[in-house]
Amino acid sequence: MAVREIFTGMPWWVKWVAVPVVALVIFGGLITSILSFVIGLLFKVLVFVAVVGVLIYVVRKFKDAGSSSGRY
């Protein structure tokens, strides 16, 4: 018996309201933990990129300042 055959005789609200609500109640904690992990990972990646960018900027600034003061 296919899923389509099971839902054929059901009212629309069972397919489009009750089943998603039941799925959210059962898997809500899992969905929340996955979303928080992904958002946390993206935040850490953004922080990493920002810190590396600042580090590169500071190193280039000191490198340029050191080489220009040595010339004069």
33/51 Cα distance (integer angstroms): 27
Answering whether pTM is above 0.95, one says no
2/22 Cα distance (integer angstroms): 20
12/29 Cα distance (integer angstroms): 26
Contact indicator for 31, 24 with CB cutoff of 8 Å: yes
The reported pLDDT for the residue numbered 7 is 85
The reported pLDDT for the residue numbered 9 is 86
pLDDT category at 13 given cuts 50, 70, 90 is very high
- The predicted-structure confidence for 45-60, as pLDDT tens digits, reads as follows 999 999 999 999 999 9
Ranked by mean pLDDT, which of 2-6, 55-59, 68-72 comes out on top?
Answer: 55-59
What token pair was written down for 39? Answer: 């958002």
63/70 Cα distance (integer angstroms): 11
